[in-house]
Structure 1
């Protein structure tokens, strides 16, 4: 599997094997991410549900519908951020939406900026997209400054 590297971060497409680390990331950051994500039903963050979700992500990747990446600090197995390029539109438009989040413990260190700075050019080149559209909630001042 291809790994995209920055100075401090390794990024790779999410695979089914990432389910436990993704579950841990979202559980660890539930309170931190709560203002930016819609409410989740009971059981959403169980390991079996994350296994299903990771399998679905892998299928979306193989079909070219989305490209979801997990980011880790070099030498660390723990997911510290995710970047999701979703709603891929083919044809003349060749575009997608970008959503991302970062572990509360990693905020304020320019890690998301660093990771996206290498990941966005990779996505443009590798998947032949022309446009990446990122939306944010205006109250999220950190994303507004990106």
Structure 2
């Protein structure tokens, strides 16, 4: 289901009909993503496992717990990026976490910035979040730059924060504070 478009991309809610395309995206970028993700076992890349994760995410989406999206270039079907807003918290906090990944061949073209900018607007209008948090490895200059150009501010540094690629690693903590919806 297409949620919206940007100048060069179409952004979709991640649904089971996109499982084949997501599998291709994950397999083609497996070594590229590995330094930034938890260790992935072979089962993670199977179509059955991918479909189950999508269905679980859809249940969480319907329960207003997360929003998992993918995007393509306009006029194309191949997924080139994913954007995930997770751990929705409402009430006095009104916040969520942001995660994103981009196909190696699509980097350096401003596509992630373009898709994220509109995705943040969409999430802000749809859910009314006040704060979006996004963390990255200290040496991930691309993510740091992308977040900075979107207005995220470094708020801290967490030692041994997440187990990435089999090793507990430090992370830079960032957030974007959004204006209150009128």
Q: TM-score, normalised by structure 1?
A: 0.96
Match of 1:35 in 2: 35
Note the residue ranges of structure 2 that are not aligned, 5 or more in a row: 147-182
Superposition RMSD on alpha carbons, in Å? 0.9
- Provide the C-alpha distance between the structure 2 equivalents of 1:142 and 1:42, rounded to a whole number of angstroms: 27
**Equivalent residue runs for 1:116-131 within 5 Å:** 116-131=116-131
Partner of 1:107: 107
Higher strand share: 2
Q: CA deviation at 1:2?
A: 4.5
Deviations 1:95-132 (A, max 9, x none): 00000000001000010001111110110001121111
Higher relative contact order (CA 8 A, sep 6+): 1
In the alignment, the residues of structure 1 paired with residue 94 and residue 113 of structure 2 have an alpha-carbon distance, to the nearest angstrom, of 23
Aligned residues: 146
Match of 2:6 in 1: 6
Q: Distance in 2 between matches of 1:117 and 1:93?
A: 22
Question: TM-score under structure 2 normalisation?
Answer: 0.78
Q: CA deviation at 1:42?
A: 2.5
Matches within 5 A, 1:1-146: 1-146=1-146
What's the CA shift for 1:138? Answer: 1.3
Gaps of 5+ in 1: none
- Point out 4+ residue stretches in structure 1 off by more than 4 angstroms: none
Counterparts of 1:103 and 1:42 in 2: how far apart (Å)? 20
Larger Rg: 2
